[in-house]
Structure 1
Amino acid sequence: MFTIHAIEEIHAKVKSGADFPHYIQELIELGVISYTIYVNDGHTVYSGKDNFQLTSDPKYPELHIAEESDIERLQHALTIHQQGQTNYMTFCKHSAASGVEKWTVDIKGMLCSYYDKNGKVMLTEQVPIPPQKE
C-alpha cells in the first residue's frame, strides 16, 4: 500500500493546476483510488483498496472558509489554476474564499467534487486525463 511520504514526494512536483493530470497518474500507480482535501488546513484523507486509509497532517495555518458559497468565484479560481496562473496555496485560499470546505477526487471515476460547509456539492468536474507516457 501507499504511504503519506510517497504521496508527498509526488505532490512536491506539482507547481500549478497544469501539473494535476500527471499527479493523478502517479497516484493511480501508487494505488490511491480517492482522496479528500480539507481546505481549512490542507489535511488530506487518502483511500485505497480494501478500505485502506491514511490521513496527512495539516499543511498550512488554518484558513477561514466563507459562510456563503460562491460557485462563480470557484469556477474562476479553477480556471486560472488549471491554466498554471496560481500555485496550490493560492488555489486553497481562493477555494476558502469561495466557500469550499473540502474537495474529493474520485480517481476511479476521474471526477473532482467541491463541497460547501453544508456538504452540498458546489461543482463537479472531470479530472483531465494525462497524456500517455512515451
Structure 2
Amino acid sequence: MKITIETIIAEHQKVKTGADFPQYIRAIKKLGVSHYTTYISDGNTEFFDEDNQSVQTGSKYDLLTISNNVNLDYFKVRLKLHQQGGTDYKTFCNDCAENGIKGWKMDLNSMNCTYFDRSGDSVLTEMIPG
C-alpha cells in the first residue's frame, strides 16, 4: 500500500475547522485514498486505496457513547455549523454521538459523505464540495 497513516495525518493537521475540509479531501485523494470510514465512538478512521488495502489511525480520544435515537434535524443544524467553521472536530464528534450518528463513510470517487446510525443504516448523504 502506497498510502501511509503519517502522510494522511500530515494533511489532516492542516484542517482547523470544517471549512478546511474540502481542501483536505482533495489532498488525500491525490495521495491515493479512495474511501474511508470514521467511527465516532473512539475517533478511529480506516482509509482505503483503490485495491481496498487499508491503514487505520487507531483511537483518538476516550470512548463516546452513541445515542440510540437519531435526531436528524438537530444533527443537520450542528453539521452546517461545523462545515462553516463554527466548531472544532472534537465538538463535532460529540454532536454526532449525542444525535445518534455512529460515523461516516467518505467516498472520494463519487465525492459524497454518508452518515450512519448505530445499526449502520444511512441517515444522511451529502456531496463533498470540491
What TM-score range do you get, normalising by the shorter chain? over 0.9
Partner-residue secondary structure (3-state), 2:92: helix
Shift of 1:91: 0.5
Task: Kindly report structure 1 stretches of 4+ aligned residues shifted beyond 3 Å.
Answer: none
Secondary structure of the residue aligned to 1:40 is coil
Give, in whole Å, the separation in 2 of the partners of 1:93 and 1:63: 7
Aligned residues with identical type, % of pairs? 40
Distance 1:24 1:61 in 2: 25
Deviations 1:38-80, CA, capped at 9 Å, x for gaps: 0000001100011211121101111110011111121011100
What is the distance in 1 between the residues matched to 2:89 and 2:47?
Answer: 18
What TM-score comes out, normalization by structure 2 length? 0.97
Aligned length: 129
Partner of 1:55: 56
| 1:13-61 Cα distance to aligned partner (Å, 9 max, x none) | 1011100100001011100000000000000110001121112110111
Scaled by the length of structure 1, what TM-score is found? 0.94
Q: What do you get for the CA RMSD once the two structures are aligned?
A: 0.7
Q: Which amino acid aligns with 1:60?
A: Y
Give the C-alpha shift of residue 94 in structure 1.
0.3
Alpha-carbon shift at residue 107 of structure 1 (Å): 0.4
Which one-letter code corresponds to 2:77 in the other structure? H
Structure 2 unmatched ranges of 5 or more: none
